[in-house]
Amino acid sequence: MRKIFTLVVAVFLLGATAYAQEKSSNGEPYKVYCEIIGQSHALTNKVDVELDFGQASKFWTGDRSLYDENGKKIKFNSMLDAANYMGHRGWDLEVAYPVVGFSAGSSDSPEYHWVMSKMVKDDSEITEGLTTGDMLKKK
């Protein structure tokens, strides 16, 4: 009886996996994620923002900052300003959390991490309406 139950569960899981793969490959929408990483500065009220789509980026030379259509780096007034910018491009906020420096007595301002999601039908839609420094270098 236990073997039959295990077999039924295995067949069900295989079928569900095949359905999920078929669904994502036949033009059905699927959810993708992006992380906004923001750093505020003590001397200004602006926030520097970088985007992480999970793409490979060179540690020292990668530029994941956002740029406008003229190639000028965008400075946001706050993390909410950045979230509204992303919201106009179809992104929804999933979760937000701060990361504070780990050294004892650190006076570093926290780094803000906001995870956003968006439904797409094709990977080309992920960065639609967005330009990072790395994307500018590839043009």
Q: Is residue 83 part of a domain?
A: yes
pLDDT mean across residues, the chain: 78
26-56 per-position pLDDT tens digit: 789 999 999 999 988 777 788 999 999 987 6
1-10 per-position pLDDT tens digit: 444 433 333 3
Kindly write down the DSSP assignment for every residue of 23-84, as one continuous string: HHHTT--EEEEEEEEEEE-SSSS-EEEEEE-S----TTT---BBB-TTSPBP-BSSHHHHHH
Q: Is residue 17 part of a domain?
A: no
Residue predicted with more confidence, 57 or 42: 42
pTM above 0.75, yes or no: no
Domain that holds residue 67: 29-138
What total number of domains does the chain contain?
A: 1
